[in-house]
Structure formats: C-alpha cells, structure tokens
Amino acid sequence: MTYQLNEKQYTHTHKQSDDKRCEYFLKKVSDFEEIWSLESPDGWVELSDEDGQVCLPLWPHPDFAKAWAVDDWADCQPKMIKLDVWLDRWTEGLEKDNTVLAIFPVDNGEGLILSPEELHDAILAKLG
C-alpha cells in the first residue's frame, strides 16, 4: 500500500541531490514494496540519458511520477510495479534489453542512472 506523502515531504525530497533521492527511493521501495513508473497508451515511458541510452524512469511514489506526466507525457499515468514482480521478472528483462534505470528523476534532471542489476542488488541489500 502506498505511503502518505504530504506537500512538505514532497518538496523537501524533490530538492535533494540525486544520491539522496536514490537513498530515499531504496528505503521507500524496501519498506512499501512498490516501484512506480509512467505508462502511456503505447506502453511504458522511456527516456534517453545523456549518452543516448534508453532509460526507464522510476519513482518511490505515484505523486513523484505524476509530476512528470506533462507536455508530451500528459496522457501518461503512474503505474505501480510490485517489488516481488520487479525482482523476479523486470531485472533480467531490462538487462537483456540493455535498458538502464533513471532513479527518481526530477524536473529536467535524469536522476541517478543504474543498471537493472545494480538496482536489484541495492534493493536486496536494503531488504537485509
């Protein structure tokens, strides 16, 4: 179940560095066992990082994802991926597709870029 997020928490977290937002992401994902991304009528939203590599943006809460659903992505909706499904299916599939992950991007920044395996290992370490 998604945690409650008030405006003060949203604003404070949104202003943090990429590394701090990644730490926040890992804690919330581990605690609530949910990962959020954006889905359009055509499928999952993908970005290109500064090197041109395909990235899947991920957030710890639907409100952060929803903030990205503007302009070209106005028809997108936050969609939750259960953590067990992510760990069982997504990591391997994204690795095969050579897709990297944009962890908790904000505004026009791409967030911290991790490989699916790096995220998988970080989540497992957080889960203990």
Query: Using one digit for the tens of pLDDT, what is the confidence trace for 54-87?
Result: 999 999 999 999 999 888 889 999 999 999 999 9
Domain assignment present for 66: yes
| Contact status, residue 116 vs residue 96, Cβ threshold 8 Å | no
Domain assignment present for 10: no
Cα separation of 9 and 86, whole Å? 26
Count of structural domains, the chain: 1
- Domain hosting 63: range is 23-127
Q: Would you report the helix, strand and coil content of the chain in percent, each value rounded to 5? A: 45, 25, 30
Domain assignment present for 17: no
Query: Using one digit for the tens of pLDDT, what is the confidence trace for 21-53?
Result: 999 999 999 999 999 999 999 999 998 867 788
Query: Using one digit for the tens of pLDDT, what is the confidence trace for 101-110?
Result: 999 999 867 7
Domain assignment present for 64: yes
CATH number at residue 61: 3.40.1350.90
Domain assignment present for 3: no
Domain assignment present for 74: yes
Whole-model pTM: value is: 0.93
Mean pLDDT over the full length of the chain: 93
Q: Under 8 Å CB-to-CB from 41, ≥6 apart: which residues? A: 75
Query: Using one digit for the tens of pLDDT, what is the confidence trace for 85-124?
Result: 999 999 999 999 999 999 999 986 778 999 999 999 999 9
